[in-house]
Copies of this chain bind each other. A is one copy, B any other.
């Protein structure tokens, strides 16, 4: 549902928000937890505007805001955004409108708010909220098919895929914000021709290009969230790199799924782009005529036509000692076989309770073409075909010192382009 906060002609008195290439025009207004770099300041909520951050704790004390927007700002003043996220859609929307009105060109609040700005160049971030439970879905049919082909050439896609939004539980504790540098994991692996497993550093370390979906307000145990109401529980989205150790995964994952192959590190972008900001970027998804229709609990008139989001996803690699960013792939979240609403409803249909700050991973977002794959596993066809980077180096999997960078944005005629910023994370050598 579009409203005046989406109007493409809106500009801000923060003039850096008015450039054509900014991720953070006044139509975006994403949330993060930040402080000034290198200080012991408390982290607090912030909203990106151009190359600045509006300090929400300072804004709460500015006297500019009233009523629900003021209450929302107070809930954003602590180090975690969970209290604000838990307030629900009306509060999110009220604060967005109030921020849009007061950051707009000509707003009388400019004088009072000028001192609430912190330059993004001077800021550092932490996780925007306490992540409670983390669930990873598997919504790209292209990824599922490509990976399935590597393991089961004759039967790449399992019979449940087009009926069940496949998901599994992940590890919340090892999720950190962009800038996470982590050691290459060690673990058990077994070479196909070996009789016994061996132990050592992962040899097939990979990234996964995903969207992260933050639950705002949850549901009570035993009370599923209907498909009609599902998106009302979604606060917003971020970029998400779900690091994966493919050789550890291959040996450990039967019969109960990935475990140590996934829980050593996962990295989110600092900014949460709200569901409301994404409203202009809906995309239709057409199922193949031969595909089953989603079951009734996953079907809604509102959702079926306009359930996806058109979010372009770029993945790049920077190798050690080089400043150059080398393109790996471009994909799009619109290819997701299941919508955000379907993920939420499916997750709760058995009565499972979601909570404020839960993170849902979309699963690797690979597009229909080989070069749109969201992991090296796919791009190198299981490590069999090395890819050559723009700087001349080759890769089958991620090497020590490599930094993987993901960026995302939404763009369409009649709307102002908005972006997600970036998530970047570097692999350090294994612990000796």
Is A173's beta carbon under 8 Å from chain B? yes
Is A351's beta carbon under 8 Å from chain B? yes
For A196, the chain B residues whose CB sits under 8 A away are: 163, 292
For A163, the chain B residues whose CB sits under 8 A away are: 188, 196-197
- Contact across chains for A431 and B133 when beta carbons are under 8 A apart: no
B-contacting 9-mer, from A27-35, A77-85, A251-259, A332-340: A251-259
Q: How far is the CA of A7 from the CA of B358 in the complex (A)?
A: 46
Is A279's beta carbon under 8 Å from chain B? no
Given contacts A186-B350, A221-B174, A351-B431, contact A168 B251 (CB under 8 A): no
For A257, give its contact among B160, B168, B251 (CB under 8 Å): B168
Given contacts A173-B133, A224-B431, A251-B160, contact A185 B351 (CB under 8 A): yes
Least Cβ distance of A246 to chain B in Å? 13
For A132, the chain B residues whose CB sits under 8 A away are: 172-173
Least Cβ distance of A431 to chain B in Å? 7
Given contacts A173-B132, A295-B199, contact A431 B254 (CB under 8 A): no
User: Which of A176, A202, A258, A350 has the most chain B CB atoms closer than 10 A to its own CB?
Assistant: A350
**How many copies of this chain?**
2
- Contact across chains for B188 and A295 when beta carbons are under 8 A apart: yes
* Number of A residues, CB within 8 Å of B: 66
- Contact across chains for B352 and A264 when beta carbons are under 8 A apart: yes
For A222, give its contact among B173, B183, B218 (CB under 8 Å): B183
- Contact across chains for A187 and B350 when beta carbons are under 8 A apart: yes
Q: How far is the CA of A187 from the CA of B349 in the complex (A)?
A: 7
- Contact across chains for B158 and A260 when beta carbons are under 8 A apart: no
Q: How far is the CA of A236 from the CA of B190 in the complex (A)?
A: 34
Least Cβ distance of A259 to chain B in Å? 5
For A350, give its contact among B223, B245, B253 (CB under 8 Å): B245
Least Cβ distance of A243 to chain B in Å? 11
Beta-carbon contacts of A174-200 to B below 8 Å, as 1s and 0s? Answer: 101000001101111010000011010
Least Cβ distance of A151 to chain B in Å? 8
Is A265's beta carbon under 8 Å from chain B? yes
Least Cβ distance of A66 to chain B in Å? 33
- Contact across chains for B174 and A260 when beta carbons are under 8 A apart: no
Q: How far is the CA of A297 from the CA of B160 in the complex (A)?
A: 38
Closest residue to A151 on the B side, CB-wise? B255
Beta-carbon contacts of A59-78 to B below 8 Å, as 1s and 0s? Answer: 00000000000000000000
Least Cβ distance of A275 to chain B in Å? 21
For A351, give its contact among B182, B251, B255, B353 (CB under 8 Å): B182
For A259, the chain B residues whose CB sits under 8 A away are: 135, 166-169
Q: How far is the CA of A319 from the CA of B350 in the complex (A)?
A: 23
For A255, the chain B residues whose CB sits under 8 A away are: 148, 158, 166, 253, 257
Is A270's beta carbon under 8 Å from chain B? no
Given contacts A168-B168, A199-B295, contact A173 B355 (CB under 8 A): yes
Give the B-binding residues of A (Cβ under 8 A): 132-133, 135-136, 138, 148, 158, 160, 163-164, 166-174, 176, 182-183, 185-188, 190, 196-197, 199, 202, 218, 221-224, 245, 248, 251-260, 263-265, 292, 295-297, 346-347, 349-355, 358, 431
Given contacts A133-B172, A148-B255, A221-B264, 5 further A-B contacts (CB under 8 A): A158-B255, A168-B256, A174-B352, A263-B350, A351-B431
